[in-house]
Structure 1
Amino acid sequence: MELTGLIIVIGVALFFTYTNGFHDSANAIATSVSTRALTPRAALAMAAVMNLAGAFLGEGVAKTVSKGLIATPEGHQGLVILFAALVGAIFWNLLTWYFGLPSSSSHALFGGLVGAALAGSSTVHWDGVLEKVVIPMFLSPVIGLVAGYLVMVAIIWLFRKSNPHKAKRGFRLAQTVSAAGMALGHGIQDAQKTMGIVVMALVISGHHEGNGIPVWVKLACAITLSAGTYAGGWRIMRTLGRKIIELDPPQGFAAETTAASILYTTAYVFKAPISTTHIITSAIMGVGATKRVKAVRWGVAKNILIGWFTTMPAAGLVAAGTYGIAHLIVG
């Protein structure tokens, strides 16, 4: 019975990773596509490859997810909790993708974990949730906004005497590198989150000990994330690339460079699982504000912000409801 439950949970976890890929692929490439630095298909292919590579570059975030947010639940009930958490996260991913809102797959997963754990009377490490999820959720967009603004101001000052047309051509080429860096950071952060869930499921079912990540888990999560990325997320791409602000190549480069730098720092220095969506969106807002504050479509930004703070409780409620139903069915 538990082996069947394990297979189901791993399958649902990989499907979550797939939705993460097509939901969040826009994070890495929307600015490059909107400025015509890359064609959509070339950008998606590049992002898929870099996501695959990033998935193998560390384990810190995965370990935080697997042991830092909720106590590892035990037995059959534990697998039901993980199943419900993933269903809550997938539901929110699909809903926000349908409406073209760049919400966080990461926070959908964290909300699902907390909601399912509470419904299943499992221990939630509230200090870990506060330090690794809630505080970064508030701080990272502020840092992204301010850093994006400062990076763009620096670029404007450094290239103030350059020919505008030549500078734009140069930054269009540079965006290939910055978009690749952003995609690599997305792979480092987001593939590890699912790895943490799969490791937790293996520990619960007695098929693994410790927090080390088996190679096959890394490979499965990396390939699934890359496949989802290549499938694309066109609805969200339009929101990030055009609806917040009309970007030019220097602005796109500044936003991607800012976001990628923050992703690497949080993954390797703090081992914190932050949202790539929050970072790139806030960086775009900060970059756009250097043109003039009204250049940013703050009405669109407001809707995105509402979605950000709705994500965890909404996914948690769906996960709790799913746990209740699943518990009644399978006991």
Structure 2
Amino acid sequence: MKALFITSIGDPEKKTMGTIDMKEVPIPEPGPEEVRIKIAYASICGSDPHTLRGELGPMRPRILSRLPIRTGHEISGVIDAVGEVAAANGFKVGDRVTANYSKPCGTCYWCHTGREGLCKQAKASADGMAEYVSWHMSQVYKIPENVTLRQACMTEPMTIALNAVQTAQVSFGKKVAIFGGGGIGLMALQLARHAGASKIVVFELAESRQKMALDLGADAVLNPNDPNVSETIRKMTNGLGFDCIIDSSGASSAAQSTLDMLAPDGNVVFFAMYKPDFDLKVNLFSQMYLQQKHIHGMYTSSDCFPKTIEMLPLVNLDAIAEKEYSLDEYKAAFDDAVSGKYAKVIFRVAGE
């Protein structure tokens, strides 16, 4: 079967780019607790360009030592083989599914206290840009009839968006700012509206993404480099700032600006892959003590899959997946993903 491999990674200091290649590998056989999925669609994660650029911080030596490595963790497909234990747990050939690439250990302190995303023994399945995968039954979720397989391949990034909206404590009447109009940012925009936000402002540089954000329900889209942006925000928020800020941009400049835009008692969430040497400057007296602003970090969102799957029909995912390629067109697909021009690039492997 066909499968994509990262065969080299770049050097951030030299601004070089890594390489992706296709190889032929055996079709995997599912173990007793596994299901084999015939991949319908696989989407390119926002972290993939970081990996190709080598922007991995302390993870860089570990990735280098493992090259070449399979890639792809945002998937959907149809089960075509089932292990005996998985079958006893209700999985069957023909089930339409999506999956969580992370398999927490289930026995550590973090798993036992309901925080599986912090599990240090979690195993990552990152071989989804291929024709087939065999993943553990605990990672696999059936999708509703009214959700297409094309939409379902974006479930995992949508868990991040949903987790961010929850962590930012978006609720009725809140004024929300979202930095970055990429895939997760545009998902968070729609979820924030469903959560009751009264005003949503997206900060985005690219004109195409600005238009998409407005089409998907943003009340306003601002260019963060506009010299008048501070005055615009002051007028929009009656001088108070935003109640909730979600930074999906990964840009250090955007992250640093959020605390000045955050209202007293507001919540800001950071979850993107920032430069490893970036340190956020915080004034503990004025921002934390006098204004009790709240800063949240966020990693994976393993516990959000059931809720996210219920929300899939309510979010316009087809618009977010702007570019679609066959697996054979992987070079063009990754060129588009790295360019940052498009909210989401996906592979059509077997299709619907």
- For the superposition of Structure 1 and Structure 2, which TM-score range results when normalised by the shorter chain? under 0.3
Q: Which has the higher contact order (CA 8 A, sep 6+)?
A: 1
Higher strand share: 2
Higher helix share: 1
TM-score when scaled to structure 1?
Answer: 0.24
Which structure's CA Rg is the greater one?
2
TM-score when scaled to structure 2?
Answer: 0.23
